[in-house]
Amino acid sequence: MKLLITGGAGFIGSNFIHYWLQHHPDDDVINFDKLTYAGNLENLKDVESNPRYTFVKGDICDRDVVFDVMRDVDVVVHFAAESHVDRSIMDPGEFIRTNVHGTHVLLDAAREFRKRFHHISTDEVFGALRPNDPPFNESTPYAPRSPYSASKAAADHLVRAYHNTYGLEATISNCSNNYGPYHFPEKIIPLFISNLIEGKKAPVYGDGLQVRDWIYVDDHSRGVDAVLQKGRIGETYCFGGGNQVPNIELTKMLVRLLGKDESSIEYVKDRPGHDRRYDIDYAKAEREFGWRPEVSFDEGLRRTVEWYQNNREWVARCKSGEYQRYYEEWYSPLSSRAEAESSRP
């Protein structure tokens, strides 16, 4: 079998490629990636000479290139996306272009060549939970609250529409927050780890009581594998880690793992429209596939911290150029405003 992995040079996509090549020795993988700021071929350096792996540089919005690369594959696994909420607040247009229009182009090609299509989505399409609300599941109504989650919700709806209207063999999975190796250092866990290693502060939004569910990236890869092998066409599956942790507790865990103290924590002005709680019910996947997360949060964080400690040059290269400009535009002003506000009488 030959798989086309969109966004395969990114965090989750590159981990999935490593997973698939290891667990499916008879399959070939094409990595289709535009190589924007978060797409990094260093993530796949150890497989670039593998005869079963091919890299094709391209934009999922480029119709001609997409149609050309999809002709000879069997399955499409669509990871490619603009995925950072803060960036979507700064520039919603790029998220609509990539996440909505790009998905539309891929779906047209999959329909033309009758390919099996799996779409990777997020729990953020469901909105936010109140303290006593049950976890999100496959029947939870959509209620996106940021430009990012709205663009992903639109993509999900397009996938369902192509299945229902054109008979496309499609599935969707919605997962909670991933973490692990190769995570670009704009997201909370790699950002805080890299900052703490460098002696900088960990900038916690607001009161830090926003609750997130965390899934180790290898557990997510196993879930997608299960959907491709056993999933029912037209269905959606939710994958979570069973770890509902307030951001401030996560930060304190990282501080302890890195041998720092809580003076390394800095509270900054909250993100606009910041959702307070996410949680995922993965009972459907457990019932149909026997899937459940295998890596505990303590063990996953330990592995992740160790990986970043051992790959400081990778982090330094990621945090140059485009990332540095973004950090200065977004996080630095937040820290400055928080400091100014804390000094007011």
The pLDDT tens digits of the residues spanning 259-311 come to: 999 999 999 998 888 889 999 999 999 999 999 999 999 999 999 999 999 99
148 carries an active-site annotation:
yes
- The Cβ of residue 298 has, within 10 Å, a number of other Cβ atoms equal to 11
**Catalytic-labelled residue, pool 59, 124, 218, 219:** 124
The token pair at 80 is: 């490619």
Cβ proximity of 67 and 41 under 8 Å: no
Calpha distance 247→227 (Å, rounded): 30
Length of the chain: 345
Does 303 map to a domain? no
Q: Is the pLDDT of residue 336 over 70?
A: no
CATH of the domain at 117: 3.40.50.720
Low-confidence winner among 223-227, 289-293, 313-317 (lowest mean pLDDT): 313-317
Q: What is the DSSP string of 129-194?
A: --TTPPPB-TTPPP---SHHHHHHHHHHHHHHHHHHHH---EEEEEE-EEESTT--TTSHHHHHHH
Q: Write down the pLDDT at residue 344.
A: 34
Calpha distance 33→53 (Å, rounded): 13
Q: Write down the pLDDT at residue 326.
A: 55
Three-class secondary structure of residue 307 per DSSP:
helix
123 carries an active-site annotation:
yes
Does 99 map to a domain? yes
96: domain range? 2-179+215-242+274-296
Q: Is the pLDDT of residue 325 over 80?
A: no
pLDDT in tens, 10-63: 999 999 999 999 999 999 999 999 998 889 999 999 999 999 999 999 999 999
pLDDT in tens, 195-208: 999 999 999 999 99
Does 327 map to a domain? no
**Catalytic-labelled residue, pool 59, 123, 213, 281:** 123
Average pLDDT over residues 149-165: 98
pTM: 0.92
**Dihedral angle over CA of 19, 251, 120, 11, nearest 10:** -50
Count of structural domains, the chain: 1
**Catalytic-labelled residue, pool 82, 86, 148, 281:** 148
Does 202 map to a domain? no
Does 268 map to a domain? no
Does 307 map to a domain? no
Q: b/e string for 62-80 if b means 16 or more Cβ within 10 A?
A: eeebbeebbeebebbbbbb
68 carries an active-site annotation:
no
pLDDT in tens, 227-251: 999 999 999 999 999 999 999 999 9
Does 52 map to a domain? yes
Does 68 map to a domain? yes
Q: Write down the pLDDT at residue 185.
A: 87
pLDDT in tens, 88-131: 999 999 999 999 999 999 999 999 999 999 999 999 999 999 98
Cβ proximity of 112 and 75 under 8 Å: no
